[in-house]
């Protein structure tokens, strides 16, 4: 962005607030004023944030990306250099997973909204969830209500292995019980023969 960048087309600028919400944008505006402190790109059709796009906007404190078509965030590139960012809204998009790298460079982040995304919850999300619990003061408890639990290939292999082991143990147990019953029957028959 150039030092003298004005208000982007289709956006409204008031002081340090830039509002580009509800404009049916498919991509982020090419340039923003360098002193942008509050940026709303909500209710658009934005599918990606180019790596390094926000790096020049070090005064950004609030970023609203809710209700867009974001399916993924670039690891580390998307929010790098936003040390002042306190509020981030990524709700109601297309995110199924989020990399911890995408958010670790935000030391000032206190509010994060993630609800309404089609999360795929599995072991890969664990580091992110631990980070979330330890760092973010305000994160809606319902953020992961739409979580869909999926099993990985490793999970299926483990289940198959356990099933196989249980089957073998069951067959072995039945075999031993059969032998024991047969031995008891023979011993009982032998005892009856001796008594006669």
Beta strands in 148-194 (DSSP E): 148-149
- Looking at the fold, whether 13 and 73 belong to one and the same domain comes out as yes
The pLDDT of residue 1 = 37
Q: pTM of this prediction?
A: 0.71
In angstroms, the Cα distances linking 95 to 32, 63, 121, 150 are: 25, 16, 11, 15
- Looking at the fold, whether 112 and 164 belong to one and the same domain comes out as no
The pLDDT of residue 2 = 39
The pLDDT of residue 3 = 41
Pairing of strands 111-113, 138-139: parallel
Distance CA(160)–CA(11), nearest Å, equals 55
Q: Look at residue 161 and tell me if it is in a domain.
A: yes
Q: Report the 3 state secondary structure along 147-159.
A: CEECCCHHHHHHH
Q: Look at residue 54 and tell me if it is in a domain.
A: yes
- As beta bridge partners, residue 112 has 88, 139
pLDDT in tens, 40-97: 999 999 999 988 899 889 999 999 999 999 998 876 677 888 999 999 999 999 998 8
Q: Look at residue 23 and tell me if it is in a domain.
A: yes
Range of the structural domain that residue 189 is part of? 151-194
- Looking at the fold, whether 109 and 170 belong to one and the same domain comes out as no
Angle at 76 (CA atoms; ends 70, 80), nearest 5 degrees: 95
Residue 14: which CATH number?
Answer: 3.80.10.10
- Looking at the fold, whether 76 and 172 belong to one and the same domain comes out as no
- Looking at the fold, whether 104 and 169 belong to one and the same domain comes out as no
User: What total of structural domains would you count in the chain?
Assistant: 2
Residue with tokens 């990985």: 152
Q: Look at residue 143 and tell me if it is in a domain.
A: no
- Looking at the fold, whether 3 and 45 belong to one and the same domain comes out as yes
Spans of the chain, pLDDT less than 70: 1-4, 75-76, 137-152, 195-196
Q: Look at residue 180 and tell me if it is in a domain.
A: yes
Residue with tokens 């509020």: 87
Q: Of 75, 96, 119, which residue sits at a domain end? A: 119
Distance CA(54)–CA(62), nearest Å, equals 12
């Amino acid at each position: 962005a150039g030092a003298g960048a004005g208000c982007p087309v289709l956006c409204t600028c008031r002081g340090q607030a830039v509002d580009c919400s509800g404009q049916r944008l498919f991509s982020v505006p090419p340039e923003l004023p360098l002193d942008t402190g509050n940026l709303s790109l909500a209710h658009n059709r934005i599918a990606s944030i180019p790596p390094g796009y926000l790096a020049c906007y070090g005064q950004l404190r609030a970023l609203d990306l809710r209700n867009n078509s974001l399916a993924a965030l670039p690891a580390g590139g998307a929010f790098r250099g936003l040390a002042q960012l306190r509020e981030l809204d990524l709700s109601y998009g297309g995110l199924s997973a989020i990399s911890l790298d995408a958010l670790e460079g935000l030391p000032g982040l206190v509010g994060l909204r993630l609800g309404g995304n089609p999360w795929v919850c599995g072991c890969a999300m664990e580091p992110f969830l631990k980070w979330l619990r330890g760092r973010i003061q305000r994160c809606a408890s319902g953020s992961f209500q739409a979580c869909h639990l999926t099993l990985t290939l490793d999970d299926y292999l483990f289940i198959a292995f356990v099933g196989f082991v249980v089957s073998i143990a069951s067959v072995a147990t039945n075999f031993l019980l059969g032998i024991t019953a047969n031995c008891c029957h023979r011993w009982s028959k032998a005892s009856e023969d001796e008594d006669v």
